[in-house]
Amino acid sequence: MTFDKDLQSIQEARRLVEKAAEAQETLARFSQQQTDLVVAACAEAARRNVEALARLAVEETTYGNVADKIEKTLFSARDVYNAIKDLKTVGVIREDPQNGIVEIAVPAGVVAAIIPCTNPTSTAVFKALIALKGRNAIVMSPHPSAVRCISETVRVMHEAALKAGAPEGCLSCLPDPTMEATQELMRHRHTAMILATGGAGLVRAAYSSGKPALGVGPGNVPAYIHTSAKIPKAVADILNGKTFDNGTICSSEQHMVVDQAIAAEVKGETERQGGFFLTAQQAEAVAHVLILPNFRVNARMVGQSAERVAREAGISIPAGTRALIAPLEGIGRKYPLSAEKLSPVLSFYPVKDWHEGLEACKRFLHFGGTGHTMAIHATDDHVIRELALELPAFRLVVNTPATLGSIGYTTNLFPSMSLGCGTPGGNITSDNISPMHLVNIKRLAYERRPVNRPENVPAGGTGTSRQMPAAVGLPSAGIVANPAPPLEQEISRIVERFLSARSPTATQGEASPLQASSSSAGTMGGLGHEVREPRTGSAPAVVRPPSDAAHEPPAHRPVDFVCEEDVRQAIKKGEKIYIAAKTIITPSARDLGQPREIFVKTAS
């Protein structure tokens, strides 16, 4: 029976990806206006259903609370939407006339999205909006503990997308997300990219699928309170961040790192604002409940209230307690509460000063949150900058809740429910993920530095440089169309005139030396050999074979560049092209010219 279920889930994953691939072909042809209508419709549908979706999420997963789930989902449907609605993601999205660069957006393709149970509806809305904004179809694999609420979120948005003109299958969700089905989704030949949010094992599977993946790492966020901090505000920010949706966001505060000089004051303020400090024995009991022997968080306790955690640990706490605070004596495997907890439980770690605080925060981050997020509470900007330069976190939020500042709710960071941790955290990016991470950028580049080597210019010529015409609306910057002839060219012309004047043929009714040297089809040294002067931006210098075999042929200067059109012109006129070891020949020119023996190698 299990075997049949696995096979059915794999087949369903294949069907949804193939349907998404068909939708992708249509989405790729959408205009910016069509794309924006679809995205707006999905956001509006999510906003209309935000309360029902939040209640369903809490009911199904038991994580967090309805009020904060509403706010999180509304954040995706409102704040994220407002941040992306005016982005250009279709056709020409940026032009740089000065540098001659035009950028063109191309969809990434079908996106496979892994959705967690901690933030199910908010993440589903977020990933749907950024994928569709980039004209990408998306197939979601929900966490098995959140299938109903994620499927319902996808349903209401998909229906809205279809009414706005989107193709069937542009947004879908695996109905039975077995591990086999999720792997098939990630590895399918039509899947172009993976957006992975979930446990470490699932993110590793995404990276090992063979497809480009945007995974996000775990958080183990320290909140440092410096002596210069406004203590009541700092404590309020930390408790607000930690208790938001019962600590289910990965950037929620995990540790209070406090300067020793203000530790007592911070402790008293924390108790006044609803924090309950645990004894050593109580902290051990809480650690046993929250953290499993393999140092993973106990899934049963994720997103539970402080009251529920205390009850499970056999501890009695005052009514209205917002968070449990555990004094910590060390960091690492001997101290389970120094890890990420995903519940309203904080550690309390006094330090001598900001130098020692910096080292403590580094250790916390390296113990499970490298590259993620750090909160700094201080008014001394020198200390803030010094910490920012040294800490291994890519979001350092100042005097604000880490949870809300990191996602762009209380800061001007890009609003996002997926936070990259960079290469230290095993991620490809350190950014807050946006639609632009799901768009390929094609670049049209016009020439701004033409090939022009004076040392390779034939005597009497003006070079063989080629110049691309400037694009319409893209003026050429810094291009000299006809550079002045270098000194050695002028000297060569003078020598030619002198030799022509001494030639016996100059008295036999032929052109005067001055005429011969100045004519574009005159004689070289009065020998009657017709020479074509090279033209700037056109075919290279070619020389017609001498008609009088009694005379020695002139020495021919090699050209410095040959393209296919040059070869075609030489073939048409029965001419040769003289080249040297340094001559640049395009592959198509070489393929066309070599079989016809067009090229003549010279010694210089």
pLDDT tier, 484 (very low <50, low <70, confident <90, very high otherwise):
very low
CA dist 404 and 413 (Å) reads 10
220: tokens are 């183990």
C-alpha distance across the termini of the chain, in Å: 80
Count CA atoms closer than 13 A to 318's CA, side-chain side.
12
Dump pLDDT digits (tens) for 40-81. 999 999 999 999 999 999 999 999 999 999 999 999 999 999
Residue 569 has pLDDT above 70, yes or no: yes
Dump pLDDT digits (tens) for 386-395. 999 999 999 9
The pLDDT value recorded for residue 53 is 98
The pLDDT value recorded for residue 382 is 98
Strand 576-579 and strand 542-543: the pairing is: antiparallel
Strand 138-142 and strand 110-115: the pairing is: parallel
Dump pLDDT digits (tens) for 437-476. 999 999 999 999 998 876 655 555 444 444 444 444 444 4
Distance, CA of 384 to chain centre: 27
Kindly state the percentage of the chain with pLDDT values over 70: 82
The pLDDT value recorded for residue 294 is 85
More confident residue, 190 or 463: 190
Neighbouring residues of 272: CB distance < 8 A, sequence distance ≥ 6: none
Residue 565 has pLDDT above 60, yes or no: yes
CB 217 within 8 A of CB 370: yes
Dump strand ranges (E) for 63-123. 91-96, 101-107, 110-115
Neighbours of 374 (CB within 10 A): 29
140: tokens are 């979601």
pLDDT tier, 507 (very low <50, low <70, confident <90, very high otherwise):
very low
Question: Hey, what CATH class is 221-404 in?
Answer: alpha beta
**What's the chain's average pLDDT?**
86
Mean pLDDT of 8-13: 95
Q: What does the DSSP assignment read for 169-204?
A: TSEEE-SS--HHHHHHHHH-TTEEEEEE-S-HHHHH
Entry field: residues in the chain: 604
CA dist 382 and 5 (Å) reads 60
Mean pLDDT of 212-230: 93
Dihedrals φ, ψ of 584, to 5°? Answer: -90, 120
pLDDT tier, 426 (very low <50, low <70, confident <90, very high otherwise):
confident
Tell me the H-state helices in 30-65.
Answer: 32-48, 50-61
CA dist 144 and 528 (Å) reads 90
Residue 511 has pLDDT above 80, yes or no: no
Burial of 210 (0-12, 13-18, 19+ CB in 10 A): exposed
Residue 525 has pLDDT above 50, yes or no: no
Torsion sign, CA atoms 184, 187, 193, 194: positive
Question: Hey, what CATH class is 2-216+437-443 in?
Answer: alpha beta
Q: Where in the chain is the domain with CATH 3.40.309.10?
A: 221-404
CB 151 within 8 A of CB 173: yes
| Cα separations in angstroms, 138 against 73, 259, 271, 500 | 19, 47, 46, 77
250 is catalytic: yes
List the single range of 62-66, 80-84, 368-372, 579-583 with lowest mean pLDDT.
579-583
More confident residue, 488 or 435: 435
Kindly state the percentage of the chain with pLDDT values over 90: 70
Q: Where in the chain is the domain with CATH 3.40.605.10?
A: 2-216+437-443
The one-character DSSP state at 433 is: P
Which residues, listed in sequence order, are joined to residue 393 by a DSSP beta bridge?
371
CA dist 337 and 333 (Å) reads 9
Model pTM?
A: 0.75
CB 309 within 8 A of CB 344: yes
| Cα separations in angstroms, 509 against 104, 503, 512, 517 | 63, 12, 9, 16
CA dist 172 and 178 (Å) reads 16
Dump pLDDT digits (tens) for 276-307. 999 999 999 999 999 998 888 999 999 999 99
Dump pLDDT digits (tens) for 312-357. 999 999 999 999 999 999 999 999 999 999 999 999 999 999 999 9
**Angle 32-48/50-61 helices, nearest 10 degrees?**
60
Residue 482 has pLDDT above 50, yes or no: no
Residue 229 has pLDDT above 80, yes or no: yes
- Containing 280, the helix (H) or strand (E) segment is helix 280-290
CA dist 234 and 253 (Å) reads 12
Which of 117, 149, 173, 250 is an active site residue? 250
Dihedrals φ, ψ of 373, to 5°? Answer: -140, 150
